Amino acid sequence: MRQMTYSEAMAIGIQEALAEDERVVLMGAGFGGLRGDPAVWSPLRENFRDRITNPPIAELGYCGIAVGAALTGLRPIVAIGTGSFSFEAFPQIANEAPQAHYGTRGQVTCPVVFHMRAGIRGAGALQHSIAPQAMYWNTPGLEICVPGSPADVRGLIKAAVRSDNPTIFIDHERLHPVVGDVDESGGDVPLGVADVKREGSDVTIVATSIMVPRALEAAATLADQGTDAEVVDPRTLVPLDKDAILRSVAKTGRVVVADETQRSCGVASEIAATIAEEGFESLRAPIRRVAIPNVPIPYHQAEEDYITPTAGRIVEAVQEICR
């Protein structure tokens, strides 16, 4: 067990995936973004130089090339960079890759990983702050990983690469410096298995990606106020571990769903709807969503902070339903 940052754990996971299977190739290697720590990312670039292809600025073209390569025996990880850049490649990500297996009734597989950094990073403004996971959740045939801790990002990237399905892998730039324990001898984190990040009895906070550390911060504040919150991290949206969420809600009877996508048809909406539909009898209070209001992302920090789902907003939502 060693303490490391989220970005270091991701770099280790990607290198382990490359070392385990020579079919794994990287289309681009800018996983760390513009502020990526060279000490973290240089080993990957140096150790696997021959497995990295640096493409031109052509998301649609190189995502399509990755799809074609995945159909024919490779297992590409595509470093798209900022999540909204994947919109440039939407025809290949949403309209080719997820159809390959279904369209042949299982004869063909498309084991490609589309990696992107998404969410409100701070001054990303209108076009570099968008979190597209809810859009991809509306595209059957794509798996979606949203790891919120160093151990999970390492374990999930390996599982995503090993999966025979196309996978959207979304991290968050504000998670990169987050430090956590990582068992370096550990294996994959299986897709579709939630993790209870904190046990509690009074209220459930379902949190994904960047909202996991924020939910844990909120839970600490709530504990000081005498409220014992349980934090459940689905870790993957597809497949979704509904049982773990419903189990926790059955225990606590109250739930806040926290996610950094827009409120309408967002990640929190789908999880809340699932709880309402399948766990209604457990509920002793209305479900609350903590999400981004239905606005684009503004530039100035004052406005940006105003629309960002924070630990404080989670605390407020919990207080509302635990009166």
Partner 1 sequence: MTTAGPAVDTLKDALHRMMLIRRVEEQVIDLATSFDDLIRGHYHVYIGQEATGVGACMALGPDDYMFTTHRNHGHVIARGGEPGPVIAEIIGRTTGYNMGRGGTFHVIAKHLGVLQTSAVVAGGVPMAAGAAFSIKRRGTDQVSLVFFGDGVLEEGAFHEALNMSSLWNLPLIMMCENNSVHPEGRRQGEQPSSSFAATQLADVARAMNVETHVVDGGDAREVAALLTGLVGRTREGEGPFFIESRLTRWPGNRGQFPELIGGPHQMAWTWDPGTADERLQDWLANADPVSLLCRSLVEEGAMTRAEVEEIDATARQEAEEAREFALSSPIPSPESAMDHIFA
Contact set with partner 1 (CB under 8 A): 25, 53, 55-56, 58, 60-74, 91-92, 95-96, 99-110, 140-141, 143, 163-165, 239
CB of 300 to partner 1, least distance (A): 34
* DSSP states along 59-91: HHHHHHHHHHHHHTT-EEEEEEEEGGGGGGGHH
CB of 84 to partner 1, least distance (A): 17
3-state secondary structure of 160: helix
How far apart, in whole angstroms, are the C-alpha atoms of residue 233 and residue 153?
A: 13
Kindly tell me which of 91 and 186 has the beta carbon lying closer to partner 1: 91
Element (H, E) at 229: strand 229-233
Query: Which residues 6+ apart lie within 8 Å of 38 measured at CB?
Result: none
CA dihedral 127, 132, 134, 137 (to 10 degrees): 150
CB of 290 to partner 1, least distance (A): 30
How far apart, in whole angstroms, are the C-alpha atoms of residue 284 and residue 153?
A: 34
How far apart, in whole angstroms, are the C-alpha atoms of residue 144 and residue 214?
A: 21
Q: Is residue 128 among the annotated active site residues?
A: yes
CB of 28 to partner 1, least distance (A): 12
CB of 144 to partner 1, least distance (A): 12
Q: Of residues 101, 128, 172, 176, which has the active-site annotation?
A: 128
Kindly tell me which of 143 and 304 has the beta carbon lying closer to partner 1: 143
Kindly tell me which of 60 and 246 has the beta carbon lying closer to partner 1: 60
What is the token pair recorded at 273?
């709807």
Kindly tell me which of 104 and 264 has the beta carbon lying closer to partner 1: 104
Kindly tell me which of 101 and 121 has the beta carbon lying closer to partner 1: 101
**Distance, C-alpha 309 to centroid of its chain:** 16
Dihedral pair phi/psi, residue 66, rounded to 5°: -65, -40
Catalytic machinery residues: 128
